[in-house]
Amino acid sequence: MQQINKPYEGLFITVEGGEGSGKTSICEQLSLTLNARGYEVILTREPGGSPLSEVLRDILLNPEKQYSIGERAELLLFLAARAQHIEEQILPALRHGKVVICDRYNDSSIAYQGCARHLGKSYVEQLCHLATEDLAEPNCTLFLDLDPTIGMERVKNLRGDQFDRLEQEKLQFHQEVRQGYLHLADEHHDRIEVIDASLSLEEVVGSCLKALEPHLTLKPVHE
């Protein structure tokens, strides 16, 4: 288990993966399960999670906006959204001893902007450190690994042809995102758990709970 010198008592869990890998569904299921076990859980997402960050989310993802967003501007907007999210939502919750489940975090920037957009992994990592000041490092990250063709098919079944700005990227882009995540998982095997997301939702929830078990050392607020 990862030991972090952290200025808070709570537990920080991040969920990562490509399109349609089931992050939203898993975050909801984990939140319900941990709540039922007596933990106080905050469920949040990136980009988003605070008023300013939700505005930036709309700027970043809405495909109908009439302006273009360059690669470096895109990265910096994701990081600006994260800086505000940490300050306003994540850190206060962790300081109050809560469990924070966050749908995407730094690893998304590294996989999407660093690897798939080719801005450079270590360049993006450094900027992530700058944006977060290393104040909140996840205790555990669940990477839902899925072939992007299956993920895109799931999103298509769910929303038809209504893809957001990043989902509209070609399959090659999403393959590079997956490779980026797999490299990160190799490098940070003490923090990142690779979960087979091609299984049924129930099975994926089971794998995630098993991976989280060693981290559930907080005292539940209600028995």
- Residues near ligand Z5A (CB under 6 A) are 17, 19-25, 45-47, 61, 78, 104, 108-109, 112-113, 154-155, 158, 164, 166-167, 197, 200-201, 204
Supply the minimum distance, in Å, between the C-beta of residue 133 and ligand Z5A: 17
Q: What gap in Å lies between CA 136 and CA 15, rounded to an integer?
A: 15
CA dihedral 3→216→198→151, nearest 10 degrees, is -70
Q: Given the complex with ligand Z5A, which of 157 and 217 has the nearer CB atom? A: 157
Q: How far is the CB of 17 from ligand Z5A (least distance, A)?
A: 6
- Helices 23-36, 201-212: inter-axial angle, 10-degree rounding: 60
Residue 113 C-beta: closest distance to ligand Z5A, Å: 6
Cα–Cα dist 60/169, whole Å: 14
Amino acid found at 33: T
CA angle 147, 62, 155 (to 5 degrees): 30
Helices (H), 91-120: 91-95, 106-109
Nearer residue to ligand Z5A within complex by CB, 80 or 216: 80
The residue at minimum Cβ distance from ligand Z5A is 22
Strands laid side by side in the 99-103 sheet: 41-45, 99-103, 11-17, 140-145, 192-196
Give whichever of 25 and 97 is closer to ligand Z5A, judged by the CB atom. Answer: 25
Q: At closest approach, how far in Å is the CB of 199 from ligand Z5A?
A: 6
Dist CA 60 CA 86 (whole Å): 18
Whole-number minimum distance, CB 222 to ligand Z5A, in Å?
28
Give the shortest CB-151-to-ligand Z5A separation in angstroms. Answer: 7
Rg (CA), the chain: 17
Q: Which is nearer to ligand Z5A, 40 or 154 (CB)?
A: 154
Instruction: State which residue, 3 or 157, has the beta carbon closest to ligand Z5A.
Output: 157
Is 122 or 200 the residue whose CB approaches ligand Z5A more closely? 200
